[in-house]
Structure 1
Amino acid sequence: MRPMLATKGDVVPTGDEWSHEVKWDGVRMLADVRGSVDRARLTTRNGNDATVAWPDIHPAPMGGRDLLVDGEIIGINHNGVPDFAVIQERMHVRSATSAARLATTVPATFMVFDVMRLDGRDLTSLPLTERRAILAGLDLGTWQVPPTYDDGLMLRDATLSQGLEGIVSKRRSSTYQPGVRSKAWLKFAHRHRFSFVVGGWRPQEGTKDRLAALLVGEPTPDGLIYRGRVGSGIGGAASRLLAGKLAGRHRAASPFADEVPAVDARGTVWVEPFLVVDVESHNKMPVTRLRQPSFRGVRTDIGPEDL
C-alpha cells in the first residue's frame, strides 16, 4: 500500500468539517504488523522496505496485533525542533549493525496519525474521525499519536512561532485513499526550505573528484530551470554520499533548459536530473535564484516528478 498524500493548500480552511495537525519535518512511513509478534515492516512513501534502518521503530506494539498505520519518523535538533537533516544519515543505512549504532546516537520518534487496518479489518473506508478515534484507543507503546486541533489558523500561527514545518488540514469525513494526492488533505508549510533536482556538481578547488557544490534546478513545463549553486552544508560525509548517488550518471551537456552562468558552469560535471535534494535559503516563494543556500539532505522518498 502507498500512503495517501496531501495537496498544497492556499488558504487554511475553517469550519467544523476540518481538523488540523502539525506537519512533521521527517520521513513518511507505513508500519505493517502482520503475522509477527516482534516487529513491524516499515515501508517508505515509494514502497521501499526500510525496516532495517529503524531498529528503534520497528518493534511491534500491542504484542504483534494485526495493524497497519501511517505516520512520520522524526528526529529532534539541538533547538528541540523536528528536523529532517537530523535523521538524514539514518535514511540510507542498510546495515543492521550500523543502524543499531545510529539508533543510540541519533534517536528517532514515530508520530502515527492514521490507522488503515486493525485485527484484519480494513478501515480505509471509514471517515477520518472514526479512524482517529480507533487510533486514540490503541496502546502503541513508544509510537506517539499527536493531537488534532479544531482551529487551523491558531495552529498555523503557533507552529510558525515555534519553528515547526507547518500544518496539515484534513476533512473529518475523508476516507483513506492509498496512493492518492487528495484535496481532502491540505498541507501548509512555513519553512524556507525547498526541494530541487541536481543537474551537476562542482569539485573542490585543487581536486578533480571531491564533490564540493551542487547545481540545482526546478522542474517546470519548460524543462529544468537553473536556480543556483549550493556549497554550504556539504561536509565530508555529505560529499561522499552525494558522490556515490551521482556516480555513473554523468552526461556530456547541461540538463538545464536555460543558460547556466559561466561562473557556475565552469568546471561543472553535468549529471542526469534524477536526484532530489533539500535546500534551505533566505528566499520565499517563488524562487528565481537561491540566496545564501545551504544543503540539508537527499530526498530518497520523492523524485523529480513529485516536484
Structure 2
Amino acid sequence: MRPMLAVTADHVPRGEAWVHEVKWDGMRVLADVHDGHLTLRSRTERDVTTAYPELAGLADLYDDLLLDGEVVALRDGVPSFAALADRMHVSSARRADQLAAAAPVTFMAFDLLRVLGQDITAQPWSARRALLEQLDIDTARWQVPPVFDDGEQLLAATAEQGLEGIVSKRRDAPYVAARRSPDWQKMPHRRTTSVVVGGWRPETSGADRLGAVLVGVPGPEGLHFAGRVGSGLGGRAGDRLRELLDPLATAGSPFAEELPRLDARGARWVTPRVVVDVASLGHTDGGRLRQPAFQRVRPDLDPEDLDA
C-alpha cells in the first residue's frame, strides 16, 4: 500500500473545513502492526523495518494497527533530513542498533488507517483523527503531533522555527491511498522539486570532479530534460553524489529528447536511478528549471515515484 499524497498549494486554505499540521522534514512511513509483528514500509513500499530498531516497541501497542506518519531525526528540536539520510538504507541490524543508540529517530504518526482489524480509510479525517488520539500512544520515540485551526499563523510559526512548512487537510476527506489529492495541500517554505539525474559534467577547470548534473522528470515518453544544475555541488556534496553516479555509468543519453549542445557538452551519462531535490525560481515556458540549486539526494524516492 502506498500512502495518500498532498498537492502543492500557493496559499493556505481558509475556513472551518480545513485543519493544519506541521510538515515534517522526514521519511514517509506506514507502520503496520499485526499479531505482535511490526513492518515499516516507505513511500515506495520498501521494507525499512530493520533500519529503525528503536521503533520496534510499536508492535506492543495494539494487536492490529496501521499508522501513517513520518520518521524524523530531531537535532536541537528541529528535523534534519541530512541526519536521517544515513539511516534510510541501513540493512545491517547491528549497524542499525549502533545508529539508533547514538541518534534515535522519532515516528510522527498523523493518520490512522486500520485499527483492530477494521479498515477506516473511508471515514473522514476528523473521525480517523479522533480514533488516533484515543489510542494514547505518545512516548519519546513515537507521538501524535498536534493539529491547528489557524493555518496562516502556523505557516508563519514554522518559518520562524526553521521547520519545512505545513500541510492542510479537509476535515471531511477520506484517505485515498496511492493518490495525490487536493484534499491535502502542502505549503513548504523551501520551493523544491524532486528530479532524476540522467548525467553529469565535470568541472570546467579540467579536473575530473563533478561540476554539474543533468536532470529530468519522468513522463510517458521517458525522462524529459529539466535543466543543468551546478549550484550547491561544491565540496563534499558533489563528491558524495559522484560516488552514487559512477556505478550507474552508461554509454548513451537516457533523456527522451536531444539535449542542447551547451548542456550536453562533455556529459557523462548514467542510468536514471538517483533522485535529488533542487530549489529553483520555478520553470521557464520550455519546462526548464530557473536558477536551480542542488539541495540533497533523496534515497527514500525512486524515479517511478515521481511519475504520479
Q: Same fold (TM over 0.5)?
A: yes
CA contact (8 A) 1:218 1:226 kept: yes
Aligned-pair distance for 1:30? Answer: 0.2
Aligned-pair distance for 1:61? Answer: 5.2
Point out where structure 1 has 5 or more consecutive residues left out of the alignment.
Answer: none
CA contact (8 A) 2:211 2:233 kept: no
1:57–1:97 distance in 2 versus 1, CA, 3 Å: same
CA contact (8 A) 2:89 2:299 kept: no
Q: Can you list the C-alpha shifts for 1:181-212, whole angstroms capped at 9, x where unaligned?
A: 2221111111143322202124577776x656
1:1-307 matches, within 5 Å, as 1-36=1-36, 40-60=38-58, 62-77=60-75, 80-140=77-137, 141=139, 142-203=141-202, 213-218=212-217, 224-230=224-230, 232-233=232-233, 239=239, 243-244=243-244, 247-253=247-253, 255=255, 257=257, 259-260=259-260, 262=262, 265-280=264-279, 283-286=280-283, 288=288, 291=291, 293-303=293-303, 306=306
CA contact (8 A) 1:201 1:211 kept: yes
Paired amino acid for 1:149: F
Distance in 2 (alpha carbons) for counterparts of 1:55 and 1:220: 37
Distance in 2 (alpha carbons) for counterparts of 1:33 and 1:238: 40
Question: Which one is further off, 243-252 or 269-278?
Answer: 243-252
Q: Can you list the C-alpha shifts for 1:41-85, whole angstroms capped at 9, x where unaligned?
A: 10011111111111122332544531110001112346x422322
Paired amino acid for 2:228: G
1:231–1:188 distance in 2 versus 1, CA, 3 Å: closer
1:118–1:269 distance in 2 versus 1, CA, 3 Å: same
Paired amino acid for 1:171: R
1:103–1:231 distance in 2 versus 1, CA, 3 Å: farther
Paired amino acid for 2:167: V
SS of 2:129's equivalent? helix
Distance in 1 (alpha carbons) for counterparts of 2:179 and 2:268: 37
SS of 1:102's equivalent? helix
Aligned-pair distance for 1:117? Answer: 1.1
1:96–1:203 distance in 2 versus 1, CA, 3 Å: farther
Aligned-pair distance for 1:279? Answer: 2.9
Aligned-pair distance for 1:27? Answer: 0.7
1:305–1:54 distance in 2 versus 1, CA, 3 Å: closer
Point out where structure 2 has 5 or more consecutive residues left out of the alignment.
Answer: none
Aligned-pair distance for 1:225? Answer: 2.7
Q: What is the number of equivalent residue pairs in this alignment?
A: 300
Aligned-pair distance for 1:268? Answer: 2.5
TM-score, length-normalised on structure 2? 0.84
CA contact (8 A) 1:85 1:297 kept: no
1:152–1:94 distance in 2 versus 1, CA, 3 Å: same
Aligned-pair distance for 1:213? Answer: 4.6
Distance in 2 (alpha carbons) for counterparts of 1:241 and 1:298: 11
Distance in 2 (alpha carbons) for counterparts of 1:163 and 1:261: 40
Aligned-pair distance for 1:109? Answer: 1.2
Identity of aligned residues (%): 43
Q: Can you list the C-alpha shifts for 1:244-274, whole angstroms capped at 9, x where unaligned?
A: 4662451323627364464x64442112334
CA contact (8 A) 2:67 2:112 kept: yes
How large is the RMSD of aligned CA atoms in angstroms?
3.0
Q: Can you list the C-alpha shifts for 1:198-248, whole angstroms capped at 9, x where unaligned?
A: 02124577776x656533234579962342233645766974565346624
